[in-house]
Structure formats: structure tokens, C-alpha cells
Amino acid sequence: MKPVIAWFRSDLRLADNPMLAAAHDSGKPVIAVYILDDVNPGIWKQGGATRWWLHQSLAALLQKIPLVLLKGDASKELLKLAEKTGAEEVFWNRCYEPWAIERDTKIKEALKKKNIEAHSFNGFLLFEPWEIKNKTGSSYKVFTPYSRACHERGGIRPPAGAAKKINFAKADGLSLNDLGLMPDIKWYGGMAEFWQPGEEGAHKRLKRFAADGASKYKAQRDFPAVDGVSRLSPHLHFGELSPHQVWDALSGKVERAHDYLRQLLWREFSWHLLYHAPDFPEKPWNKQFTKFPWKKDKKLLRLWQKGNTGYPIVDAGMRQLWQTGWMHNRVRMIVGSFLVKNLLLNWRDGEDWFWDTLVDADLGNNAAGWQWIAGCGADAAPYFRIFNPVLQSRKFDPAGEYIKKYIPELKNLSSDYIHAPWEASPLELSAAGVTLGKTYPAPVVDLSESRDRALKAYSVSKSAA
Ligand code: FAD
């Protein structure tokens, strides 16, 4: 019997995987394939941290099923595989990156010409980005009415289990190491300690969060020293879990899950924005920002990237990112605001750095997060609302526990000074073993001056637009 192809992409799971279930239901032998495509994404090919994750996640999947691994332009590789194996049908779950939509449309046409049927499904989002529309038939630009429309629409399907006894067929492919996903320099030790990529790790985290975290989410979610968020983002990004599984585990089953489910709708909204504005990762949504006078300063950018700005909460966040491949959402907002407002560097620089270093780097969420914090996105924080990193730090990390964890050189400073070491007297600094400019950097900019400079730049660009 001729086989069918089940093409894994952002859905590295067996349970609740619509394309895999449909391939199995065809009754034919199933060739499962993953293709590492660094050709079609252009500048958005996967970054260092996501490549590390991908390697681990594929390794986990390979333990369960005979997955064929290929590398190259997926539009060519998939066709070659279909021709070689005589497959008559191909199944996949839809991806919504603009480059993926373009590529997959071409692939569908090419397969059709060869009489191979392509079937696509939704396994990545709760709602298709084109489904949720306002009364005039346009897409939403503001989150609250968008989320209301999602609730009104409802109908989120319950997740399906894993298909039993899939008749997998084998085909020639590469070894996992041949994909070359692991870096030569072993910088990933902290990440390996922190995460368990793969479907099993994803379910463990979801189970733990549903049991212990979800009902306390609203109260705890803003405090980076507390284990108060789900940390499901990389699992959702790689599709080791479907949003339907998360929704189902919490909705109506866990008290006060509403606030958490709202965040899942932010994820939907981000992808909805990207679908309707394919240049969203590169261009400001609000065209008023097209000529914003961003500074170009590689040295400042490097200090920010490495967590050496002299602002402890900013530096702790950037070091958490470097060590674990993830950063708490509150701190993402603080470091983002600091980059674009206090340092006046382009949000695209921040977006690129996150793209390379986050294990959850995700085209929709990352672009939306950066445009939100830069004030140029749809439904964004207004540019003139500038986070004060010291006040944010005092409010959300009052005892400085988060700072101490990632900046141990400040661990002996009292909570009065840990948020702003430059305010401590020389005596207090020396008692804590801190020498500003030596053991820990002095602030790279003055907060109030840089704030005024940002507001001036904003008013100039506003009047020029
Ligand atoms: P939880 O608080 O437990 O939330 C649950 C899930 O909801 C998350 O896993 C995520 O899928 C989704 N979610 C939560 N907050 C948001 C949000 N603001 N926007 C969209 N979806 C959200 N998230 C990414 O997944 N990838 C990114 O590349 C990314 N880049 C960001 C860049 C900036 C500048 C900012 C401010 C935010 C970014 N976010 C990104 C959103 C958010 O910070 C992360 O989703 C969240 O911190 C992940 O941790 P968690 O899974 O514990 O989240």
C-alpha cells in the first residue's frame, strides 16, 4: 500500500495532533518527517537557543516514533520524499509565519500538479487568525474586544489523545546530529538544567501548574523571584503541547484560571496581528514611528545584552535570559523599556537579541512584545509611559531575591540599596564588597536625563509624521 506523509513542524507531539490523527485515519502506512528548513525563513531562521531546544525535542520524539529527518528547502525536500516513497497524500498542521504561509501555498500547488493531495489542519492556535473579525468584517487591532470576541465565539475543541498503534513506515533520512543544531561551544549548561524539552516535559509542567500554580497566577505572576508563572512558552512554541490541551486542563477545572487563559488569548492576538500585517516583525505597526530617531550604539547594545548596564533589575533579567534561555514577562517589559526608552536603541535590536537567545523565541509573540513595549504596536503601551526600572524593581522584587540570584556580586547589599546601588554610601558599598565600576558597573545612563531625551525624541518624531 502506498504511504502517506505526516509532516511535523511546530507540533512536536503525538497527542492532540490533528494532522497525525488524520494521517493515521487514512489507513495507510505513515512516514513521519521533520525538515529543518533554514532557506525559506530568511532572516527569521531559528536562533541559537531555539536550535538547542529543537535538538532536544526531536530527540524526545525520536524515542517514540521513527521520525525521518531532512534538511534544506522544505519545498524541494518534501517533494523529493513524496516521489521517492510514492506517497499520495501529505498531512500537516498549519504554520502562520508569513514565510511559512508563502512556502506552504507553493508546496500545495506543486503537490497538486503531481497528483499528491495535501491536507492541512489547525494544531497551533485556538482560533484561525482569519476567523475572529469585528462587526464590519475587519480584523481586531485592540486586545480587549478581540478577546471578548474569542469568548463569544467559543467552541474550542476538546483535545484528542494520541492515536494508538500508528503504522509507521521508514524512509531514508539524516541523523539528528547531521542537522547540526547543537552549538560547538557548550553554552547551554544552564538551559539543560532548567528545562525538559519534549512532550513529556511539557505535560509535567502543565500538570504541576494546573495543580499548584494556576489558581495563584493572578497574585504571583508579576514577581520574578516567585515560581508564579507556567513557563509553558517554549513547549507551546514547539507544539509539544497544544493550546487546546492547556485550555482544557484549566478552563472550568481550576479556580481563578481566567487570568491565565487571558494570556493564552494574548498569544492568539499576537499571531492574529502578524497574520494581518506580515511585516509586523520588521516594521512598526504605527507608521508614526517609521522615522523615529533611534540611536546606533553597538557598545551600549552590548552592555544591555550582557547584563552590564548598572541597573540591577535590567542586568538580572538579561543574565537570566543568557543562563536559562527564558526571562520572566515582567522583566521582559522592564529590559525592553530600558532599551528603547532609556538607551534609545531600536526595538528591532532587542527583538533580534531575544530571537537568538530565548528558547521560546516566537515570531508572533516576540514582535508583539517588542512593538508593545516600544509603543509602536497595535494596542501598545503609549511611548510616553516610561518604566522606571528602580521603582519596578522595588515593587516587584522587594527583597531583591531575583537580583541576588542572577547578580551574586550584589548579594550582600541590603534591600534598601540593591535596586539602586549608586544610592548607597561608600561605607555601605564597601561593607557589601561592592565597588561600582569594578565589581559591578556604574549606571550607563542617568534615568531622568534619558527619560527626558526619549520624550523629546518622541515629540519630534510625532510632529514630523
Ligand atoms: P505565562 O504567564 O504562564 O503565560 C502562559 C502563556 O501565554 C505563555 O506561555 C505564552 O504562550 C502566552 N503569553 C503570556 N504572555 C503573553 C504575551 N504578553 N504575549 C503573547 N503571549 C503571551 N512570548 C513568547 O512566547 N515568545 C517570545 O518570543 C516572546 N517575546 C517577548 C518579548 C517581549 C519584549 C515581551 C514584553 C514579551 C514577550 N513574550 C514572548 C510574551 C511573554 O513574556 C512570554 O510568553 C511569557 O513570559 C512566557 O512565560 P510563561 O510561559 O511562564 O507565561
The Å distance, Cα 174 to ligand 1 centre, comes to 33
Under 8 Å between Cβ of 439 and 336: no
Ligand 1, atom 17, lies closest to the CA of 266
Report the distance separating Cα 265 and Cα 125, nearest Å: 9
User: In 10 A of CB 155, how many CB atoms?
Assistant: 7
Q: What are the phi and psi torsion angles at 162 (to 5°)? A: -80, 140
403-414 in b/e form (b: 16+ CB < 10 A) is bbbbbebbeebe
What is residue 253's predicted lDDT score, i.e. its pLDDT?
Answer: 87
Ligand 1, atom 13, lies closest to the CA of 263
The amino acid occupying position 381 is A
Q: Which residues are bridge partners to 248 per DSSP?
A: none
Of 75, 169, 151, 71, give the one whose Cα is nearest residue 114: 75
The Å distance, Cα 380 to ligand 1 centre, comes to 15
Under 8 Å between Cβ of 277 and 135: no
The Å distance, Cα 368 to ligand 1 centre, comes to 10
User: In 10 A of CB 120, how many CB atoms?
Assistant: 17
What is residue 394's predicted lDDT score, i.e. its pLDDT?
Answer: 98
- Residue by residue, DSSP assigns 59-114 as HHHHTTS-EEEEES-HHHHHHHHHHHHT--EEEEE---SHHHHHHHHHHHHHHHHT
The Å distance, Cα 175 to ligand 1 centre, comes to 32
Ligand 1, atom 44, lies closest to the CA of 329
Report the distance separating Cα 409 and Cα 363, nearest Å: 35
Ligand 1 site, CB within 6 A: 221, 229-233, 236-237, 263-264, 266-267, 270, 329, 332-333, 336, 354, 358, 360-362, 365-366, 368-370, 373
What is residue 382's predicted lDDT score, i.e. its pLDDT?
Answer: 86
- Residue to mutate, 222, 247, 267, ligand 1, most ligand atoms under 8 Å from C-beta: 267
Ligand 1, atom 21, lies closest to the CA of 267
Regions in the chain scoring below 70 on pLDDT? 465
Which atom of ligand 1 sits closest to the CA of residue 264?
Answer: 7
Q: What is the pLDDT of residues 139-198, one digit of tens each?
A: 999 999 999 999 999 999 999 999 889 999 999 999 999 999 999 888 888 899 999 999
**Helices 329-337, 389-396: crossing angle, 10 deg rounding:** 170
The Å distance, Cα 187 to ligand 1 centre, comes to 23
Q: What is the pTM of this model?
A: 0.98
The Å distance, Cα 277 to ligand 1 centre, comes to 20
Measured CA distances, 216 to 249, 259, 331 (Å): 15, 10, 19
What is residue 244's predicted lDDT score, i.e. its pLDDT?
Answer: 98
Report the distance separating Cα 241 and Cα 357, nearest Å: 21
Report the distance separating Cα 271 and Cα 277, nearest Å: 10
Residues making up the chain, counted from first to last: 465
What is residue 423's predicted lDDT score, i.e. its pLDDT?
Answer: 97
388: helix, strand or coil = coil
The Å distance, Cα 330 to ligand 1 centre, comes to 10
Q: What distance, in Å, lies between the first and last C-alpha atoms of the chain?
A: 63
- Give ∠ CA 226-227-229 in degrees, rounded to 5: 110
The Å distance, Cα 328 to ligand 1 centre, comes to 8
